[in-house]
Structure 1
Amino acid sequence: MQDETITGRVADAVRGHWVDTHAPDWLRPYARLARWERPIGWWLLLWPCWWSAALAAIAGGKAFPDPWHMVLFLIGAVAMRGAGCTYNDLVDQEIDDKVARTRSRPLPSGQVSRLQAKVFLAAQALTGLAVLLQFNWFAVLLGIASLAVVAVYPFMKRVTNWPQLFLGLAFSWGALMGWAAAFGRLDWPAVALYAGGILWTIGYDTIYAHQDKEDDALVGVHSTARLFGDWTKPALAALYGGATALFALALFGADAGPAAFAGLALGLGHLVWQIVRLDIDDPDQCLKLFRSNTSYGWIVFAGLVLEAMVQGLL
Structure 2
Amino acid sequence: MALCRRFSKVYRSLHRRTRPAASVSDYAPAVNPFSDPLISTFSNRFTPFNPPNPTYKHFNNSHFSAGNLTLAQSLHYSNLANPKNEKNNNNYSSHVLSWIDLYLPKKVQPYARLARLDKPIGTWLLAWPCMWSITMAAESGNLPDMKTMALFGCGALLLRGAGCTINDLLDRDIDTKVERTRLRPVASGALTPFQGLCFLGFQLLLGLGILLQLNTFSQVLGASSLLLVFTYPLMKRVTFWPQAYLGLTFNWGALLGWAAIRGGLDLVVVLPLYMSGVFWTLVYDTIYAHQDKDDDLKVGVKSTALRFGDSTKEWVTGFGLASIGCLALSGLNAEIGWPYYAFLAAASSHLAWQIWTVDLSCRADCNKKFVSNKWFGAIVFGGILFGRLCS
Q: TM-score range by the shorter chain?
A: over 0.9
Q: What does residue 119 of structure 2 align with? A: 38
Within 5 Å, give how 1:97-112 maps onto structure 2. Answer: 97-112=176-191
How far apart are residue 151 of structure 1 and its match? 1.4
Q: Which consecutive residues of structure 1, in runs of 5 or more, have no partner in the other structure?
A: none
Query: How far, CA to CA, are the matches of 1:231 and 1:310 in structure 2?
Result: 41
What is the identity percentage for the equivalent residue pairs of Structure 1 and Structure 2?
A: 47
The normalised TM-score by structure 2 is 0.76
Query: In the TM superposition, what is the alpha-carbon distance from 1:308 to its structure 2 partner?
Result: 2.0
1:310 Cα deviation from its structure 2 partner: 2.3
Of the three residues 186, 211, 232, the one matched with 1:153 is 232
Matched residues, number:
309
Q: Deviations over 1:45-100 (max 9, x none)?
A: 0000000011111xx32511110011001100000100000010000000001111
Structure 1 CA distance for aligned equivalents of residues 251 and 336 of structure 2: 21
Counterpart pick for 2:130 among 39, 42, 49: 49
Report the AA paired with residue 303 of structure 1. Answer: G
Specify the structure having the higher radius of gyration (Cα).
Answer: 2
Q: 1:175 to 1:93 in 2, by over 3 A?
A: same
How does 1:145-184 map onto structure 2 within 5 Å? 145-184=224-263
User: How far has the Cα of 1:278 moved from its partner?
Assistant: 1.1
Q: Which amino acid aligns with 1:254?
A: A
Distance, in Å, in 1 between the alignment partners of 2:93 and 2:228 is 26
- Alpha-carbon shift at residue 250 of structure 1 (Å): 0.6
Map of 1:1-314 to 2, 5 A cutoff?
1-2=55-56, 4=58, 7=61, 15-57=96-138, 60-188=139-267, 189-311=269-391
2:296 and 2:60 map into 1 onto residues whose CA distance is 25
* Residue of structure 1 equivalent to 2:7: none
In structure 2, the gaps of 5 or more residues are: 1-54, 64-80, 82-91
Q: Give TM-score, length-normalised by structure 1.
A: 0.95
Label 1:294 to 1:100 Cα distance change in 2 as closer, same or farther (>3 A). Answer: same
> Taking structure 1 as reference, are residues 217 and 5 closer, same or farther at Cα in structure 2, changes over 3 Å only?
farther
Q: Deviations over 1:123-149 (max 9, x none)?
A: 111111111111111011000111111
Instruction: Verify the 8 A CA contact 2:58 2:94 in the aligned structure 1.
Output: no
Distance 1:45 1:7 in 2: 29
Secondary structure of the equivalent of 1:211?
A: helix
The answer to which structure, 1 or 2, has the higher relative contact order (CA under 8 A, 6+ apart) is: 1
Deviation at 1:16, TM superposition (A): 3.7
Higher helix fraction (1 or 2): 1
Deviation at 1:199, TM superposition (A): 0.6
Query: What is the root-mean-square deviation of aligned Cα atoms in Å?
Result: 1.7
Q: Deviations over 1:144-175 (max 9, x none)?
A: 11111111100000010000011000000010
Aligned-pair distance for 1:3?
5.6
Structure 1 residues 124 and 255, CA gap change in structure 2 (3 angstroms):
same
